[in-house]
Every structure is written in structure tokens, then in C-alpha cells.
Amino acid sequence: MKYAYFPGCSLESTGREFGESTHLVADELGIELVEIPDWNCCGATSAHNLDHRLSVALPARNLGIAESMGVDVVAPCAACYNRMRGAEVELRGNTAMRDGINADLEKPFTGAVTVKSALEVFTAPEMLENVESKLRKHLKGLKPACYYGCLLIRPPKVLGFDDAEAPRSLDLAMETVGAEPVDWHFKNECCGASFGIAKSDIVVKLTGDILSNAKKNGANCIVTACPLCMTNLEMRQGAAGKLRGEDLTMPIFYFTELLGLAMEVPGVKKYFASHLVDVNPAIDAIEAVTV
């Protein structure tokens, strides 16, 4: 299976572990990822906030290049996935806008390819079977709170690969590798996303709510599929703990890191060292059960 890979700006810097672990897991599962040559930024929340047409036009250039490659797109970053898929749907439905934007593109988008998230690709039933058959290390002892956030599941009319109110894909992936995901209440709440920089007080409040609820329900880590969620949940742990007067220290993983760990994909463990919050307590919880 082959996909056009869209890394986006975050996976080149703050979310590097997510991009690289996605590649390692894809290799292991026999999925070929070919980077979209000369891709540009999807515009993220900023284009979407200030200019609707631009929020469609920026992804359109990438979609056009992907179409010329003749394969569907995988965008692991939740924000890129949301914007790229949103633009795809708009361009399919709004021919006037599509023609206008295509006129400025070297490689036009006609609707021949579609955009998926890495979560969607890796948790398709046949892929989870594939993961199960390659399982070398059961992650028993790991009690993840599976955190979906916003951009992977909403708006369901546009994205729709998982249920917006009771999403299951991350939980299924974690169950497949032997972890024991907890039942909790903040799996689809917002972390404040791009307010991380301009309005950090909002992010501190929201990440505090999320971390606290995960802890109360017995989680020993949070699993995410979004680099913005990762940054907010890791960076704001200290301030959120202070705000709530609770110890909110909690390891945060990308789901691809844990798939890689369970399949013992060489090289995947090296990303643990680059986390801002020590992940060892969660790893130790797995080892304690295995011994």
C-alpha cells in the first residue's frame, strides 16, 4: 500500500517524534509513505481564522501535487489532516472555488485523491490484524487515557472516520497491543490548540482539566495522535498542576510510539528520550507486569 505523505510544519520540529515513529510503524506494516514533493503549509488555524478562501487554497496546492502522484494522502498531524480534508471536501462540492484556485496551480486538484489521518490508516481492521500478528511485547500494565481532542474527529460531517462523541479508534489500537485503556470523560475535549502561544492561560486551564480527569480514572499515561495536544499537555503540566493544586505529572505518548514499542520496531525507543515529560514511569509499569 502506498500513500502520499504530508508531514506539515509541526512534524518537522516540535512533533518530530510523531513523524519519525509514523514512518517506522508504516515500514513495519508494509505501508510505503512518499513525501509530497515541495509541500507547503496547510495554513492551520490561522488561515482558517482570517480568510476562508486561503484556508482552502493552501491545502489545494498539496492536494494537486498528491493527485499527480496518483495516491491518497496521509497527514498524521491532526490540524493538517483537519484542514487538508476540509479543503478536499470543499473543493469537491464548490466547483466555482475549485476552478478559481486551480487556475493558479501548476498541478490542479480535480478530486481524484482523498486525505486520511495516520490514525485512520493504522487502525483500519486489517491493519490492526497486521499489528496483532507482529506483536512481540504486550503492553499490559499500561493504562492509557486515549485522548482524541478535536481536530481528528470534528466536524464529523467532514471527517467522519470515527464517532465524534464516543470515538474508539485509539482505544482499539491500545487494546490490540495489550494495554488497558481507561474509561474517562475528557477524550474528546479541546486542549486549547493553537492558543498555546497567544492565550496560554486558556490552555493551562483546559490541560489541567484533561490531566486531572485522566488521573482520577486511573490512567498512568495519555496517548494522543496530535502534535498540538502533545505540546500543550507536556508543556503546561507544571502550570496546570499549580493552578489546580494537584500533582498532574503524567507521561504523554504518540500512539505510533506505542505501536512501535509493542512490535519492537528497532529505533522507536530513542524518541522516549526527547519527551519533555519523563515517560519512564509508564514504561516501568509495563516492565513490572512482564517480569
Partner 1 sequence: MEIALNSEEVKQISPLGGSVDPGFKREIKDTCGEDVMSCYQCGECTAGCPAAFSMDIAPNQIMRMTQLGMKDEVLASSSIWLCAGCETCATRCPRGVALSKVMDSCRQIAVKEGRKVKEPNVLKFHDQFLKEVSRFGRVHELTLMGMYKMRSKRFFDDVILGIPMFLKGKLGLIPSFVKGRGEVRKLIKKS
Where does this chain bind partner 1 (CB under 8 A)?
Answer: 9-10, 12-14, 16, 38-41, 43-54, 57-58, 60-61, 100-101, 104-106, 150, 154-156, 164-165, 188-190, 192-195, 197-202, 205-206, 235, 274-276
Report the residue number, 10 or 212, with the smaller CB distance to partner 1.
10
State the cell numbers at 185.
470523560
Q: How far is the CB of 164 from partner 1 (least distance, A)?
A: 5
Contact (CB, 8 A) for 76 and 118: yes
Q: How far is the CB of 14 from partner 1 (least distance, A)?
A: 5
Report the residue number, 82 or 220, with the smaller CB distance to partner 1.
82
The Cα 18–Cα 41 span in angstroms is 17
Q: How far is the CB of 161 from partner 1 (least distance, A)?
A: 14
Q: How far is the CB of 13 from partner 1 (least distance, A)?
A: 5
Report the residue number, 1 or 164, with the smaller CB distance to partner 1.
164
- The residue ranges of DSSP E strands in the chain, in sequence order, are 2-5, 32-35, 73-74, 115-116, 144-146, 221-224, 252-254
Residue type, 55: S
Q: Among 245, 247, 244, 265, which residue's Cα sits nearest to residue 256?
A: 265
Q: How far is the CB of 61 from partner 1 (least distance, A)?
A: 6
Report the residue number, 75 or 128, with the smaller CB distance to partner 1.
75
Backbone angle region of 193, left / alpha / beta, with phi > 0 → left and psi within -120 to 50 → alpha? left
Report the residue number, 216 or 270, with the smaller CB distance to partner 1.
270
The Cα 210–Cα 233 span in angstroms is 9
